[in-house]
Each structure stands twice: as C-alpha cells, then as structure tokens.
Structure 1
Amino acid sequence: MADEQGADQGAEATFPNGADNEPQVMMIAQYVKDLSFENPNSPAIYQAPEQPKIDVQFNIGSQQAADDVFEVMLKIEVAATFGDTLGYAVELVYAGLFGLRNIPADQMQPFLFAEAPRLLFPFARRVVSDAIRDGNFSPLVLEPIDFGTLYLQQAAQQAELATAEPAGEA
C-alpha cells in the first residue's frame, strides 16, 4: 500500500505546477448579440379568436474570436400566426465566448456545436419568453433540446452526402 501511494506521488511530480497540457474549457461571457420583436398587426391581433400556430427554428454558428477563444451563436426564430395573419415574430441571436485550450481537434466541433449551445440555451429561452410576454402574448416556454443528438444526426447526414457524391459523379 505504501508503495502504491509513493507511485502516485511520483506521477504527480512529473507534472509540475504551471504545466499547461490539460484540456480546459471556460465560458468567458454570454450575451444577446441581436434581438428583434415584431408585432406588425397590433392592436387588431389581440382580438384574434383562435390560438396561434407557433413555428420555431434554430441555427448554431461558431467563429474563432481570438487565440483559444470561440464565439458560439445560437439563433432562435419564432413566428406566431393567427390564421393567415402574423401575430408576432421574434429573432434572437444569443452568443457565448468560450475559452478552449488543449482540446483535441476531433473534440472541437462537438463542443462548439453540441455542448456550448446546451449551455447557452436556458438563457436564450428566457430572453425569447420574456420578449413574447412583454409583447402582451402568452409566454412561450421552449422545450429543452438535445443538441448532442442533433449534432450526431447532422454529422451522419453530412457523412452520407460525402460518400454519395463520388458515386454520383462517376
């Protein structure tokens, strides 16, 4: 037992303080990058007899902002129609700055397009709900999204397309 403890301490000694080789992820900031709320048919829309049909669209983008710093943008678009009439439209780009150091290249995309959006989503969801409520409509509570599964599905689709293209050209 004493030998095992000594071996563990020896392993720790090979990585002196200040060694900078471990993967590190840090959220530096999160913010509303762009927000738009439109209520083009007010005040008549408040007298609409039916419930609105809600359409929600998501998009994720990423760009390098500096060395080891990436901006991830979660875009949410919501449109509510009452029959053929637009009740409201919300567009939000909610972003976060993430510091990423010593992340393997094969793990960078999954983090930027699955994990980072998962971290940003609860805050973006609140901004959208508050904007809709402030427009005097019932708040919209967006269900949680499994960004990891969506990322894997999109990666599989892109792999299918990549393997199908050469066969189509021949």
Structure 2
Amino acid sequence: MTDVSPADANGSAPTEQPPVPGFRILAQYVRDLSFENPRAPDSLRMDGKPAIDMGVELNAQGRPDGLFEVDIKLSIKASTDTMKVFQVELLYGGLFQLTGIPEQDIEPMLLIECPRYLFPYAREIISRASADGGFYPPFMLDPIDFAGIYTARQQQQAQQGGAA
C-alpha cells in the first residue's frame, strides 16, 4: 500500500470528477390534514358538480444538517350556491438531500422538482379523504404545473422589486 495516487496512462495524477447532480427523498410525511363535510348527509346527495376553489402554496427551507424540507399546502373548497360541500386542507412535506447541484439551481430544484415527486402522494391522500367523507367519485386533483407556479412567483417578485 502506498500514499501515492495512481497515475493515469499519461503518468499524471487523475483529476477528481465533480459530484453527479442528484437528490434523494429521505422522508415524506403528512404535517397537517383537515377534512370537513359540514352538511353531511345532505352534501352527499346533491345534483350537479360543485364549484371548486383550490389553493397551492410551496415552501422550502434548508436545515442545519444540510438537508432540505419541502412542503406543499393544498386547500380545496367545494361548494354550491346553497351550501359548502366539503373542504380539505393538506400540508404534505418531504425531506430531501441534494448533491452536486449548482447554487443557482437549488431553488428551482426545491420548488419545482421536489414538489413533482411529492404531489402524487398528496393527491392520493386528498382523494382518499374525500372518498372516506362519502363522496363518490372521490375528488381527484388535476396535475399541477410547478414550473409555471415558480415562474409566476419569480415574475411577481421581479415586478415588486422594480416597483420598490
């Protein structure tokens, strides 16, 4: 055994390869879940489709251990002209480890790619909650364009910065 690095074919020491960009999902969890069906059983026998009001919030933050927490908050309110049908609020999170990601790409990774991986699980939880609340068919969220949300947020911040 020696303390000398092996040489490549040219006799020079090999160069270190930069780490390959990637991320790992270390944990996924429900931080908060609320389902309300205040007008049951009347809300279960309504005719037609209710109006849906949906909200999406994204949050990402670094931790002292070098990992990142990403949260998706989904709020869905279904109502008719005469009654509130149901309301679901879910705060679903994940713990991520990023490796080899350039500094300028960390924010888009956390607010676009990480939520893309969390969303199908959050969607299933909301669907199951609406089914358990007595609604058939269960409420299924349409896919969310996280890149579009991120771009809109960036444009809004740029406009606010320009106005200040």
TM-score range, shorter-chain basis? 0.7 to 0.9
The residue number in structure 2 matching 1:161 is 160
In structure 1, what is the Cα distance between the partners aligned to 2:67 and 2:36?
A: 33
Residues 30-85 of structure 1: CA distance to partner in whole angstroms, max 9, x if unpaired? 11111111111112222333421111111111122332211100011111112231
The residue number in structure 2 matching 1:111 is 109
Stretches of structure 1 lacking an aligned partner (at least 5 in a row):
1-5, 166-170
Q: Find the partner of 2:118 among 117, 120, 127.
A: 120
Stretches of structure 2 lacking an aligned partner (at least 5 in a row):
1-8
- The yes-or-no answer on 1:91 pairing with 2:128 is no
How many pairs were matched up? Answer: 156
Q: Find the partner of 2:33 among 18, 23, 35.
A: 35
RMSD over aligned CA atoms reads: 2.4
In structure 1, what is the Cα distance between the partners aligned to 2:155 and 2:44?
A: 44
Moved more, 88-97 or 149-158: 149-158
The residue number in structure 2 matching 1:168 is none
TM-score of the pair, normalised by structure 2: 0.84
Kept after mapping to 2: 8 A contact 1:95/1:120: yes
Q: Find the partner of 2:63 among 65, 68, 89.
A: 65
More helix by share: 1
* Identity rate, percent: 40
In structure 2, what is the Cα distance between the partners aligned to 1:27 and 1:50?
A: 40
In structure 2, what is the Cα distance between the partners aligned to 1:20 and 1:109?
A: 20
In structure 2, what is the Cα distance between the partners aligned to 1:112 and 1:93?
A: 16
- The letter for the 1-side match of 2:23 is V
Q: CA deviation at 1:22?
A: 4.3
Residues 119-157 of structure 1: CA distance to partner in whole angstroms, max 9, x if unpaired? 111111111111101111131221111211221121022
In structure 2, what is the Cα distance between the partners aligned to 1:108 and 1:141?
A: 30
- The letter for the 2-side match of 1:114 is I
TM-score of the pair, normalised by structure 1: 0.81
In structure 2, what is the Cα distance between the partners aligned to 1:139 and 1:46?
A: 11
Change in CA separation of 1:80 and 1:56 when aligned onto 2, cut-off 3 Å: same
